[in-house]
Amino acid sequence: MATILSIGKAIPEFEMSQNMAVDFAKEIFSDSFKDIDRLLTVFKNGQIEKRQFAEQLAWYQTEHSFEEKNNLYIEKAVKYGIEAVENCLTNKNLLNQDIKYDDIDAIFFISSTGFSTPSIDAKIMNHLPFKKTTKRIPIWGLGCAGGASGLSRAYEYCKAFPKSTVLVISVELCSLTFQHNDHSKSNLIGTSLFADGVACTCVVGQSVEWKKKSKLSTLPEIIGTRSTFMKHSEDVMGWDIKNNGLYVVFSRNIPSIIKKWLKPQMMEFLDEHKLKLNNINHFIAHPGGKKVIDAYIDGLGFTEGQLDISKEVLRNHGNMSSVTVMYVLEKYLEREIGKKSDLGVIGALGPGFSSELLLVTWKG
């Protein structure tokens, strides 16, 4: 088993309201769509009020080379990654005492929005006093499912090494992939949804005495995971990689796929643990967008109230790809929403097409 002990965020400093985003999109896309005003309603109907970005609005109004965008990704990923790690290890809302750098045995680094070799985790380690034997496990390309997948892989690591303390660092600077010359509907929809965010989650094995470090009376313990892959679905979401960088692939069929495909995966997963959907108190869901949240409700039968935290994160931060589910999870911890013996599922969907589900129970 593995317990989620602490989470820290790094919120990019440049905030944009959705009304500002509408004006930006109209400027960029108006020459490509005769019905641009009708298409722009996706911004207002998406239940996003504001988002945060790594650069000011003026930066996105001009074209940039792949090299320039990726160099900026590396610079910002290191900066925000350091901040998120520090906030995770010293989170006064969640911890009685700081987590020591020497306690960290492994780092899982999750991202899909830029490239770096050595990976960003190595660059972060050069700025922070981790021990030299800390294992590094960078994972690239899982998109929106990456945060949940990183937590799953951390759980498996802690299951193998129950004395371990592990960090999952998720960095997504979606805005730095923006293609000024891509006038597709996929890019327009992506412009209405995606944002930048960074988070770090600390997961500990069952032999680690978390009660001395945590301020909380209960914490979620991961007790099982399930990864599911849909064959021949590469065109559902992902990137086309071209000379000028990453071009978004975003199918309009995602909500209908969720409604039809996700429930059987969820039912099989819960059946492995002799549970039913009505046994689940909390759905800690990656909020891909309003239509995705509606699909969770329609397809899985969760109530509006069970998705309130996911909707709140979407409203205030947009879709930050893999990072988003960690923002949702942090609110569950800070507000002590989970009570002893409650059951929850952490869930996210990503390119592949694939799902990542984690079963958690709150332990005291």
* pLDDT per residue as tens digits for the range 211-225: 889 999 999 999 999
247 pLDDT above the threshold of 80: yes
Per-residue pLDDT averaged across 112-123, rounded? 97
pLDDT at 103: 97
pLDDT at 27: 83
Q: For residue 240, what is the enclosing H or E element?
A: strand 237-242
More confident residue, 292 or 198: 198
- Predicted confidence band at 345 (pLDDT cuts at 50, 70, 90)? very high
pTM over 0.85: yes
Q: Which of 144, 158, 174, 200 is catalytic?
A: 144
pLDDT at 323: 97
β-sheet bridge partners, residue 348: 356
Question: Dihedral of CA 33/314/52/227: which sign?
Answer: negative
Q: Which class would CATH give 2-212?
A: alpha beta
* pLDDT per residue as tens digits for the range 22-74: 888 888 887 777 778 888 888 888 889 999 999 999 999 999 999 999 999 99
At the fourth CATH level, the homologous superfamily of domain 219-363 is Thiolase/Chalcone synthase (3.40.47.10)
Distances (CA, A) of 61 to 95, 196, 298: 42, 17, 38
pLDDT at 176: 96
Kindly report the average pLDDT of the chain as a whole number: 93
**Exposure on the CB side of residue 143, measured as CA atoms within 13 A:** 21
Per-residue pLDDT averaged across 167-180, rounded? 95
pLDDT at 260: 81
pLDDT at 95: 97
119 pLDDT above the threshold of 90: yes
More confident residue, 81 or 210: 81
Rounded to whole angstroms, the Cα distance separating 274 from 297 reads: 22
pLDDT at 186: 81
Q: In whole angstroms, what separates CA 333 from the centre of its chain?
A: 16
More confident residue, 18 or 238: 18
Least reliable range by pLDDT among 35-49, 104-118, 157-171:
35-49
- CB-CB contact of 128 with 85 (8 Å): yes
144 is catalytic: yes
pLDDT at 295: 87
**Exposure on the CB side of residue 42, measured as CA atoms within 13 A:** 19
* pLDDT more than 90, % of the chain: 70
185 pLDDT above the threshold of 90: no
> DSSP states of 118-137 as a string?
S-HHHHHHTTS---TT-EEE
pLDDT at 265: 92
Give ranges for CATH 3.40.47.10 in the chain.
Answer: 2-212, 219-363
3-state SS of 152-197? HHHHHHHHHCCCCEEEEEEEEEHHHHCCCCCCCHHHHHHHHHECEE
Per-residue pLDDT averaged across 325-330, rounded? 98
